Amino acid sequence: MDEAQTYVFDADGLVLGRLASTVADMLLKAARSDRDDKVVIINAEKSIVSGSSRSVFQTYHDKYALNHARKGPFYPRMPDMILKRTVRGMLPYQRKSSGRRALRNLRVEIGCPHHLASGMPEGHVEGDDSKIRKSLPESYVRLGDISASLGAPSHRWTGGEQ
């Protein structure tokens, strides 16, 4: 079995769908080739969703309004969980064990954890985002703003600012 790697992606300024599909593909390939590669996504609240703010907010409010408090489907409000749910939607996590294994190897963080702030620790590599890092679209919304509009406690990623 190959040596497992931990890839770190900084979601700041990256389009949510492009990041999610790249990460899902990387995790699925690793799981199918019997490697335990892990992916850590930091600064989830700074990723962007392209489109007019009105349509983006309406889409996410509609998704959130679908749920029933006890029966589901449960849709998250926090930006890290929205990003993880987006990656989950691109994995066959209900049908195949490789999809479940891939999802287990994903960790999404709000902000930057202390152990990654000063540099990459041993065994961690920066993920290659050259294919997904493009110039910002004309109209976009940050994932943190979407979460705040859904009612998530935004002080967790703004540091108490409103």
Pairing mode, if any, of strands 48-50 and 106-108?
unpaired
Range with the largest mean pLDDT of 118-122, 150-154, 157-161: 150-154
pTM of the model: 0.90
18 compared with 68, residue with greater pLDDT: 18
DSSP for 45-72 reads: GG-EEES-HHHHHHHHHHHHHT--TTT-
d(CA 133, CA 154): 26
pLDDT of residue 70: 87
pLDDT tens-digit series, residues 78-130: 999 999 999 999 999 888 999 999 999 999 999 888 877 777 777 788 888 88
In this structure, what token pair is assigned to residue 115?
């152990």
Structurally, at CATH architecture level, domain 6-158 sits in Alpha-Beta Complex (3.90)
d(CA 39, CA 29): 12
pLDDT of residue 160: 67
pLDDT of residue 31: 93
d(CA 3, CA 125): 13
